[in-house]
Structure 1
Amino acid sequence: MTPAELSLYFALVLGIVLIPGMDMAFVVGHSLTGGLRAGLAALGGVVAGALCHLTMGAMGLALVLKALPGAFTAMLVAGALYLAWLGWGLMRAEPTSTAATGTPQAGRTRSAFFGAMLTNLLNPKAYLFSLAVLPQFVHPERGGLVLQLGVIALITAATQIAIYGGLAWVAAGGRGRMAGSGAAGLRRQRLLLRGVGLLLWITAIYTGWQAWVQAAA
């Protein structure tokens, strides 16, 4: 892979990661409710899901998904319902002070990781992105196919870690400052939780609308 191809792929992934969406909302939401450790666990789930997308795209499974409109629609519906459930949970969540919560429990960390991974895997657009993008940057005729895929996976993971990791750190830090500033801080934290929950609801509605359009086509 040439440096120009690597730079173009990085620019493409960076632009996608910077667009607010379900992955970003999930990481920020868990950072606000569970602190930095929960946010980083959610980030790990997002990265794991993205690597699964790249692997499936390389194996041609994304092409199978595109050829089965029913499966595509079902994934959109499942994703919309899951996002709505997550948004409802954040809308109902109550902030707590960092002194009271301490270190997040292992169960919360596992829930953040697998929840983020499931959210990522239920996004059929990510499969289609892999299907559309990988052929442009992976060249089997040049040899070293595993190495090429590894470099692409590394760029993708590093970009997500840098952007979402920074957001998790900022959100967790803001949570600590707000939770430690008394009742007013807790009210601000509660508003942030409601805002992230609302973002997930909006995403769920949009995803459900896409499922309806897909089914009607």
Structure 2
Amino acid sequence: MSENDNSVNIHSEKNRYHHGDLRTALIDEGLKLINAGRADALSLREIARNAGVSATAVYRHFPDKAALLGALCLEGHVRMAGAFERAMASAAPGVEAFSAMGRAYVRFALAHPALFRLMMAQTTGPVPAPPPLAGAGTGADSMQMLVNAIDGLFGADTPPAAREARRLQAWSLVHGLAMLMLDGQVPADPALVDAVVDARIL
């Protein structure tokens, strides 16, 4: 490769990402790759190649694979939160809102299986118990939104131990159904999701 070739590559790379969107482009490429396979098969070099940049450019944003996986996990939670918000937009607070969110949870998992598994693997420890409805709204963390919706079912006067048990029961319902469908134990049938995810049974 000649010196001129190097100059063209560097110039092209700077032109493509002169607005500072390389990090976003790398995350988008990572999401495409894990949607087509498994997160543990991700290659930073392959992502760089697909994005049309050098491996060095990738390492400026993500020093290693773990850093990229963490960024993909965070992006997954943002997207799941968006799915929750859209599902709840026309639902009444309480039972209807949780049912809508629960169905969105399962559908997100089915639509993005590798990303969903990554998100669950990257979650460490229990989700903290916030005050009811704290932190809700656009941009809220998806797991925080789920906790808020569950707490909203039972009210602030429910004893903490009972609220925690019910929270786990509700999360187990949607997460268990998602995993059963992802693992092929039950059919990934949208009608079955609608029938099973019903907060009135809690």
The structure whose RCO (Cα within 8 Å, separation 6+) is larger is 1
Instruction: State the TM-score bracket (shorter-chain normalisation).
Output: under 0.3
TM-score normalised over the length of structure 1:
0.26
Q: Tell me which protein shows more helix as a share of its residues.
A: 1
Question: What TM-score comes out, normalization by structure 2 length?
Answer: 0.28
